[in-house]
Amino acid sequence: MGMNMSEKILAKHAGLDAVEAGQLIICDLDMVLANDITAPPSIKKFETLGRPVFDNTKIALIPDHFQPAKDIKSAGLAKIVRDFCNKNNIVNYFEQGRVGIEHVILPEKGIVGPGMLTIGADSHTCTYGALNGFSTGVGTTDLAMAIATGKAWFKVPEAIKVNLTGQKPADITGKDVILTLIGMIGVDGALYRSLEFAGPGVAELSMTDRLTICNMAIEAGGKNGIFPFDDKTAAYVKDRFKKPFEPVSADPDAKYCRVVEINLSELKPVVAFPHLPGNTKRIEDIPEPIRIDQVVLGSCTNGRLEDLEIAAKIFEGHQVAPHVRCIIIPGSQAIYKEAIKLGYIDTFIDAGCVVSCPTCGPCLGGYMGILAAGERCVSTTNRNFRGRMGHVDSEVYLAGPQVAAASAILGRIATPGEVK
């Protein structure tokens, strides 16, 4: 029996010729990741082990969740990370002014790439599967051991094949694809399984689409998401990823526990209603207008340059509705700078948006856009659990950048086609 993409990466890093679903293995790691919230408890545990870091070039510590520090406690968390990095000469540490949202800057800076095995103390570490790697989130104790040993244990996941066909319509983004998938299979539909994307429709998706889709694999319960290596992947990593790499592809006889078919041509803009990412509805099927109070456009899911470009084209010549707050958060300093150069930031400010420095901020209810009781927000972030962005009686509706921009202008959940 052949192997799928995830199995091939895990087998190689375990030093085995082959692995199969359910097998317990120990693997050598290529990259270990944590942020300003998850790193401090891992560092505390690591320091009880009495061992040096396994490799100061294979650890990435990114202060992005509550940074720039929103209060004394968050400043203290950042200091723990900063002091640890200085003490251990951690190469992949980025201070304020150079940092960005972790799952945006690691691909952007070529820290992760094809064939790599990456773990991170953040559930959205699965983002990097867009680059044809295996990446997944872990707990802080597993991360502490990985910092010391460069190894982690895995149970090889079963795989779901998501076969993409058709052509992607102009008003559809990767966010619509993944929200549609989660709506189809549920938030536990891929529990501890790999979501492996395949089919002719893959070529229709930009790298931004793929990064968004893999980012939200965890919202279907997935262990990881992964895309095949193709010309678009090659173009993306060409000037970024400097290490030798071996792309992986699924064998023709690879085993899958389920196959899900998605015809991109049939997709319509969607929004995930509170309080689950799987509570997905087509916007055209919403019976009554849903008035909103806030829009957030950013995060590790949709804070890339292509997302800002999509939004800027819609905002051009329009104003944010008077009763709406619209917060734009570029995913990295490089994206922010390029968005300034291309005029997107001027467009946002002229439209009445506020533009923030790169931060996770409101996505996890940290700061930079907390909701009060009864308020509704359309957000390009990845979760809309009760209380996720503020008060437990607030509501978050997940959508792509095109829907977020249109909704900010019209003051209700809307599609770009409704903006005149």
Cβ–Cβ < 8 Å for 205, 177: yes
Give the rounded percent of residues in the chain with a pLDDT score beyond 70.
100
- Give the confidence band of 324 by pLDDT, cuts at 50, 70, 90: very high
- Tokens for 374, please give them: 């009864």
Check whether residue 260 and residue 288 sit in a common domain. no
| pLDDT attached to residue 420 | 83
CA-CA distance, 325 to 328, in Å (whole number)? 10
CA-CA distances (angstroms) from residue 230 to 60, 92, 199, 248? 27, 27, 12, 10
| pLDDT attached to residue 82 | 96
Q: Which residue has the higher pLDDT, 87 or 417?
A: 87
**Beta-carbon contacts of residue 73 (< 8 Å; ≥ 6 apart):** none
Nearest to 265 by CA among 177, 168, 160, 392: 168
Q: What is the mean pLDDT of the chain?
A: 96
**Beta-carbon contacts of residue 315 (< 8 Å; ≥ 6 apart):** 347, 348, 351, 353, 405, 408, 409
CA-CA distance, 2 to 355, in Å (whole number)? 49
Packed helices 305-315 and 333-341: angle between N→C axes, nearest 10 degrees: 40
Average pLDDT over residues 77-88: 96
Establish if 247 belongs to a structural domain: no
CA-CA distance, 405 to 400, in Å (whole number)? 9
Check whether residue 375 and residue 229 sit in a common domain. no
Number of domains in the chain: 2
Establish if 152 belongs to a structural domain: yes
| pLDDT attached to residue 163 | 98
| pLDDT attached to residue 15 | 97
| pLDDT attached to residue 152 | 97
Establish if 420 belongs to a structural domain: no
Establish if 141 belongs to a structural domain: yes
Establish if 319 belongs to a structural domain: yes
- Give the confidence band of 418 by pLDDT, cuts at 50, 70, 90: confident
**Beta-carbon contacts of residue 350 (< 8 Å; ≥ 6 apart):** none
Check whether residue 174 and residue 194 sit in a common domain. yes
Strand partners, 31: 118
List phi, psi (to 5°) of 179.
-65, -40
Instruction: Spell 259-288 as b/e; 16+ CB within 10 A means b.
Output: ebebebeebebbbbbbebbbbbbebeeeee
Establish if 248 belongs to a structural domain: no
| pLDDT attached to residue 85 | 97
Establish if 408 belongs to a structural domain: yes
Check whether residue 238 and residue 352 sit in a common domain. no
- Binning the chain into helix, strand and coil, the percentages to the nearest 5 are 35, 20, 45
What string of H, E and C letters represents the secondary structure of 19-73?
CCCCCEEEEECCEEEEECCCHHHHHHHHCCCCCCCCCCCCEEEECCCCCCCCCHH
pLDDT in tens, 49-70: 999 999 999 999 999 999 899 9
- Tokens for 398, please give them: 């997940």
Cβ–Cβ < 8 Å for 24, 272: no
Give the rounded percent of residues in the chain with a pLDDT score beyond 90.
94
Check whether residue 275 and residue 345 sit in a common domain. yes
β-strand pairing of 294-297 with 376-379: parallel
- Give the confidence band of 155 by pLDDT, cuts at 50, 70, 90: very high
- Give the confidence band of 364 by pLDDT, cuts at 50, 70, 90: confident
- Tokens for 388, please give them: 């996720």
Average pLDDT over residues 16-33: 97
Check whether residue 302 and residue 400 sit in a common domain. yes
Check whether residue 259 and residue 277 sit in a common domain. no
Cβ–Cβ < 8 Å for 57, 89: no
Check whether residue 306 and residue 171 sit in a common domain. no
CA-CA distance, 68 to 3, in Å (whole number)? 44
Check whether residue 116 and residue 58 sit in a common domain. yes
DSSP 412: B
Check whether residue 236 and residue 353 sit in a common domain. no
Domain that holds residue 336: 269-414
| pLDDT attached to residue 177 | 97
Residue 1 has pLDDT above 80, yes or no: no
| pLDDT attached to residue 13 | 98
- Tokens for 48, please give them: 């009880």
Cα 281-282-285 angle, rounded to 5 deg: 95
- Final residue before a domain boundary, out of 196, 231, 264: 264
Establish if 419 belongs to a structural domain: no
| pLDDT attached to residue 49 | 93
- Final residue before a domain boundary, out of 264, 297, 325: 264
Which amino acid type is present at position 351?
A: A
Check whether residue 40 and residue 185 sit in a common domain. yes
Supply the CATH number for residue 222's domain: 3.30.499.10
Check whether residue 344 and residue 399 sit in a common domain. yes
Neighbours of 306 (CB within 10 A): 18
